[in-house]
Amino acid sequence: MSSAASERNFSTFGFVHSKLRNRLLAIWWVLQKTTLRPSRLTKMHRIVLQRTPSSRTLTKLAKTATRTTSIPMNQMTDAEMRLISCERRVPQVAPDCSRIINQFVDHTLLKADAQPSEIKTLCQEAVQYSFCTVCVNASYASLARKTLDELKESSKPHVKVCCVVGFPLGATTTATKAFEAQQCLDAGAEEIDMVINVGMLQAGEYDFVLRDICAVVAVCKERGAISKVILETALLSPEQIRKASELAIAAGADFIKTSTGFSTRGASEEDVKLMASIAEPAGKKVKASGGIRSAADAQKLITLGATRLGTSAGVEIAQGEHSTNGFTI
């Protein structure tokens, strides 16, 4: 939009404080040109009003923008949904939070005896509850994508396929991991969760670990896919978690992920909090995985910094129940 057109639009607001003109013009342009959501606008509104408490015009502008930029919940990004969730720091998840939590969920089935019929059921549940992805082993990537496409509803958000690579030990060669990631993407996956070589990290072979991660991340970036790096925090000290997180971020990964769900434990609150403190300043995200059995568990981890949840108890979480199936991944 031209400067002249912007000024004509702004004249309708009747500004009288000339010293605020440039600031308000800039804010108006941002509100028109970006996809800021109500929660963010409200926060901006409060901040700006603290600086200019006498500006009724600014109040009108912010309120107008909040009304006109509302979007459906199913189009919000992970970060925006987390912002809403974190504003509700309550012990119990409010009913209107359930849809938000659903869209954090990677609905997971990675057990060795998973059968095609179970993968189809997993996909049906993911569509029904609007989960973010289904997370499956590489051999089921094609089946999952085909099933989701057949079940797709125009009124529902797109459910992606997430595949694991080097899973669950992370001990395959770098070339194998990169090739596996490529095959998964060719079969319809849009997200890749790779496992680091834990032993090499513990041995201090950081260059090896970095190259290992970079190889898979490069494949994902070339295809426009999301990359997540599984640290297996149950086997690491806080110092090692920090180092592994830094290596994953340096490699360009989109997420750092706590666990495979196949080790001694899953995500802990301490792990998520530490990882979020490292990831967020770098503009990266955290996926908590393993042992998430209820909506209360999910809400707690979101509040601590997780923006994605890997769990096989997605349906129980969506229904506000507690999984009784033992250790869930």
- Single out the catalytic residue among 106, 287, 297, 300: 287
For the purposes of burial, counting CB atoms within 10 Å of the CB of 208, is it exposed (0-12), middle (13-18) or buried (19 or more)? Answer: middle
For residues 104 and 306, is the Cβ–Cβ distance under 8 A?
A: yes
Active-site hit among 160, 177, 257, 300: 257
Phi, psi of 277 (to 5 degrees): -65, -25
Residue 5 is encoded by which pair of tokens? 């057109």
Q: How many CB atoms lie within 10 A of CB 16?
A: 10
Active site residue 287: yes
- Amino acid occupying residue 110: L
Check if 257 is active-site: yes
Strand partners, 107: 134, 311
> Token digits for 320?
């506000």
Q: Which residue shows structure tokens 């991340």?
A: 217
106, 193, 212, 271: which one is catalytic? 193
User: How far does Cα 247 stand from its chain's mean position?
Assistant: 19
* Residues annotated as catalytic (active site), given as ranges: 193, 257, 287
